[in-house]
Amino acid sequence: MKPKALSDYIIKHSEGEKRYIVAIAGPPGAGKSTFAEALLLLLIEKSIQAKTISMDGFHLDNSILAERNLLDRKGAPATFDTAGFIHLMNRLTSFENNVVIPVFDRKKDLSIAGSSIITTKDKVLIVEGNYLLIEEEPWAKLKKSWDHTIFINPGIDTLENRLLNRWLRHGLNSQDAKNRTLINDLPNARYVIEKSSGSDTQIF
């Protein structure tokens, strides 16, 4: 399903609801952020108050990852403040007002606190992240937060090419980009594909 059809579906099914939360999950490099932004623009064009939230804002700082010998595994489940993200979603599903959230700056490779605020005027929330549909605890606690779920999986070969090119664009040399892709990103991708539950919408 393309963003236009999904935006129409969301508008229809969110009628009469105080809040409607869409989860966009999938492996790294699947295109979750791009899809989320396209969906957001379509909703705003229809005068729907909406915002995007990325799980990446809950990356642990590189200094903490270094202390835990996890810097080379950044993006793996253990490198996130999972409890903090689950707490955020509980606050948002409870329709709490003025919820302050962090945003991940990919160029600086760190999370910036207090970068966005979700208010009760934000009717549709588009949440994107690798582990939103993981069936294992503690991620499984998120399941009750979603009104509609989307899983994007273009396939391992496509993911490998995208991830390799991503690291090259970020200034890594070819060997470091290949190591980052094969040693970290693709194992994370396979975990997401294997452990995620079924979704309402699948995009390949």
pLDDT of residue 183: 92
- The confidence score (pLDDT) of residue 158 equals 96
Q: How big is the CA angle at 69 (ends 67 and 73), to the nearest 5 degrees?
A: 125
- Predicted pLDDT of residue 170: 86
According to DSSP, the β-strands at 99-105 and 110-118 are: antiparallel
- Classify residue 57 as exposed, middle or buried by CB count within 10 Å of its CB (0-12, 13-18, 19+): buried
Instruction: Report the C-alpha gap between 138 and 90 in whole angstroms.
Output: 13
pLDDT at 1: 75
Q: What pLDDT, on a 0 to 100 scale, did the predictor assign at position 99?
A: 98
The one-letter amino acid code at 169 reads R
CB of 97 within 8 A of CB of 119?
yes
* pLDDT > 70: percent of the chain: 100
Instruction: Look at residue 107 in the predicted model and tell me its pLDDT.
Output: 85
Separation of alpha carbons 155 and 190, rounded Å:
10
Q: What is the pLDDT of residues 134-180, one digit of tens each?
A: 999 999 999 999 999 999 999 999 999 999 999 999 899 999 999 99
Closest C-alpha to 40, from 128, 115, 112? 128
Q: How far apart are CA 90 and CA 177, in angstroms?
A: 37
Mean pLDDT of 92-106: 96
| Cβ neighbours around 16 below 10 Å, total | 6
- Rounded to whole angstroms, how far apart are CA atoms 104 and 61? 10
Cβ neighbours of 131 (radius 10 Å)? 21
Distances (CA, A) of 189 to 61, 165, 193: 21, 16, 6
User: Does position 59 have pLDDT exceeding 80, yes or no?
Assistant: yes
pLDDT tens digits along 120-137? 999 999 999 999 999 999
Q: Compute the Cα dihedral for 148, 132, 136, 58 and give only its sign.
A: negative
For residue 77 the two structure tokens come to: 């489940």
Q: Where are the domains of the chain?
A: 3-203
Segment 24-53 shows an average pLDDT of 97
The residue type of 173 is: N
pTM: 0.95
The one-letter amino acid code at 47 reads S
**How many alpha carbons lie under 13 Å from residue 188 in its C-beta half-sphere?**
27
Q: Please state which CATH number belongs to domain 3-203.
A: 3.40.50.300
- Judged by average pLDDT, the poorest of 21-30, 54-63, 166-175 is 166-175
